[in-house]
Amino acid sequence: MSKITYTLEVVTQKVGIEEKDILNYIENNIVTPYRNDDLLFDDEDIARLILICELREHCDPNEESLQVILHLIDQIHYLQNRK
């Protein structure tokens, strides 16, 4: 079964975020597309972008804080999945 992927244009519509912001997140290693060479995103990438939007809306973190928050969330998910 193949994974469903979305183009950058579709992601901007689904998430409600500008293309330049997504490209900035990719450049700063905050988001890594499922396939980086042709900018295809999967559902996990979309969920991460939605989380970023929610964090920006409620907490307004700067780039460094956002990276730390997301890294901690990633560690929590990793530890939960190890069990």
CA dist 74 and 58 (Å) reads 19
Q: Chain-centre distance of CA 81, in angstroms?
A: 19
Domain segments of the chain: what residues?
A: 8-82
- The model's pTM is 0.88
Answer yes or no: are the C-beta atoms of 49 and 8 closer than 8 Å. no
Determine whether domain 8-82 maps to CATH 3.10.20.600: no
User: Is 1 a residue whose pLDDT tops 90?
Assistant: no
10-66 pLDDT tens trace: 999 999 999 999 999 999 999 999 998 899 999 999 999 999 999 999 999 998 999
User: Is 83 a residue whose pLDDT tops 80?
Assistant: no
Q: What was the pLDDT predicted at 22?
A: 96
Q: What letter would DSSP give residue 30?
A: S
Q: What was the pLDDT predicted at 2?
A: 78
